[in-house]
């Protein structure tokens, strides 16, 4: 996974930032959103972020 890949272009949130939020204890989209503000502008990234969180939390 490319950690620097921007998953939310509105807020420049990268995959690495989502991973960090999960590593810091966030388990749901709402918790990751609280930590990163991801998906709070246009919402287009929400599905991708949810998939990524599912991937990260299933390990």
Residue 8 touches ligand FES, criterion: CB under 6 A: yes
**Exposed (0-12), middle (13-18) or buried (19+): which is 25, by Cβ within 10 Å?**
exposed
The correct pick among 17, 21, 22, 45 for binding ligand FES (CB under 6 A) is 45
Window of 14-22, 24-32, 38-46, 51-59 that interacts with ligand FES by CB under 6 A: 38-46
- Distances, alpha carbon 39 to alpha carbons 28, 33, 35, 52, 59, in Å: 13, 7, 11, 13, 23
Q: State the minimum distance, in angstroms, from the CB of residue 27 to ligand FES.
A: 20
Residues that bind ligand FES (CB under 6 A): 8-11, 39, 41-45
């Amino acid at each position: 996974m490319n950690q620097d890949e921007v998953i939310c272009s509105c807020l420049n949130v990268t995959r690495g930032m989502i991973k960090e939020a999960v590593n810091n204890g966030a388990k749901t989209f709402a918790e990751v959103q609280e930590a990163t503000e991801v998906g709070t502008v246009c919402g287009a990234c929400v599905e991708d972020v949810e998939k990524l969180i599912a991937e990260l939390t299933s390990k």
